Amino acid sequence: MKIAVLPGDGIGTEIVAEALRVLEALDLSFETETALVGGAAYEAHGHPLPESTLKLAKEADAMLFGAVGDWKYDKLERSLRPEQAILGLRKNLGLFANFRPAICYEQLVDASSLKPELIAGLDILIIRELTGDIYFGQPRGRRTAVDGHFPGADEAFDTMRYSRPEVERIAHVAFQAARKRNKRVTSVDKANVLETFQFWKDIVTEVGKEYPDVELDHMYVDNAAMQLVKAPKKFDVVVTGNMFGDILSDEAAMLTGSIGMLPSASLNSSNQGLYEPSHGSAPDIAGKGVANPLATILSAAMMLRFSLNQPEAADRIESAVKHVLAQGLRTADIWSAGTTKVGTREMGDAVVAAITKKTITG
């Protein structure tokens, strides 16, 4: 097992260090190799995704990624900005399936802006198609309009498109994920208006017939956005296209109220994956030792489960995280009166201690 460790920028280095300590506490045998990515790679090599980093990523079974970006790079030309490293990794490794669980831990129920009864026990999984849709469709650009409401005016355009294999493979991913959960898939589309999403809906329905044990329903994206805040627990697995998934997965993340808790995985068809917290590089708190490392630690658990075939080790990490929350330990972003505020390192220490104790007691 080889893990490419890509800490990136800002709090990335602090939180990835804790996730690595947790992995080491499990006593598994794996090799790690660290490389620069994002702004740190731009500073050292003049590019956010240098050839050497890409080579390492391709060779590894999985990538443990921190976060990239800093406001100081906002004026760089687009192709050199730190965020391009993530797009480059997705594209080069064919990471088409993005998993974003939104779980509300019992002890953090008050962190949500929703009423506790709406989100207590929430455990949903948003699966977003990551390499197609309007974000990548060609042609795109700017031109002078020849028709429409204002012929002769400047206009901009993008192309929404999906091919049959792209929809089929993400649908299979969703149904297979649902089989390991509560066996329900909601496919989110805009079939009432968009040809692309009528096509999407037809194909997901066809694929669904291969999974008679999984219940499938369809929902328009506007309704899905409403239902996520009205009755989020009614979902199990939500599968949708790139743009709708981008928006809905952030909405779902916020239901739990604690961005520092949410892991994510992006997988290709060989189960090679990029594992990263759902949040960014948080330049406002970088270097202060206060960032919450739990999203990254939970991303490492997803890595063990999906790419490294170590489900028991993944369970141990997830139980350890629940244990430290039950102990009342909180980083500043999830702190509330009556709990104990700890820093990044102390939170990592507590998870390591919970794992080590489990090993001793069997």
Sites of contact with ligand NAD (CB under 6 A): 11, 15, 67-70, 83, 86, 259-260, 276, 279-285, 291-292, 295, 333
Between 8 and 241, CB nearer to ligand NAD: 8
Instruction: Give the active site residues.
Output: 135, 190, 222, 246, 250
Q: State the DSSP string of 268-325.
A: -TT--EEEEESS---TTTTTTT----HHHHHHHHHHHHHTS--HHHHHHHHHHHHHHH
Q: Per the structure block, which two tokens stand in for 117?
A: 């009864």
> Could you tell me how far CA 131 lies from the centroid of its own chain?
14
Identity of the residue numbered 334:
I
Between 240 and 299, CB nearer to ligand NAD: 299
| Minimum gap (Å) between residue 281 Cβ and ligand NAD | 4
Between 190 and 330, CB nearer to ligand NAD: 330
| Minimum gap (Å) between residue 277 Cβ and ligand NAD | 6
What angle is formed at CA 307 by the lines to CA 326 and CA 38, rounded to 5 degrees? 85
CB 273 within 8 A of CB 265: yes
CA dihedral 184, 190, 196, 198 (to 10 degrees): 70
Which is it for strands 237-240 and 273-277: parallel, antiparallel or unpaired? Answer: unpaired
| Minimum gap (Å) between residue 253 Cβ and ligand NAD | 10
| Minimum gap (Å) between residue 309 Cβ and ligand NAD | 25
Between 233 and 341, CB nearer to ligand NAD: 341
The CA-based diameter of the chain, rounded to the nearest angstrom, is 75
3-state secondary structure at position 7:
strand
Phi-psi region of 221 (alpha: psi -120 to 50; beta: other; left: phi over 0): alpha
Between 273 and 280, CB nearer to ligand NAD: 280
DSSP 159: -
| Minimum gap (Å) between residue 227 Cβ and ligand NAD | 25
| Minimum gap (Å) between residue 334 Cβ and ligand NAD | 8
3-state secondary structure at position 131:
coil
Q: Per the structure block, which two tokens stand in for 126?
A: 């948003």
| Minimum gap (Å) between residue 95 Cβ and ligand NAD | 13
Residue 128 sits at φ, ψ, to 5 deg, of -110, 130
Nearest-angstrom CA–CA distance, 354 and 362: 12
Nearest-angstrom CA–CA distance, 262 and 67: 13
Beta bridge partners of 101: 125
Between 11 and 41, CB nearer to ligand NAD: 11
Between 214 and 291, CB nearer to ligand NAD: 291
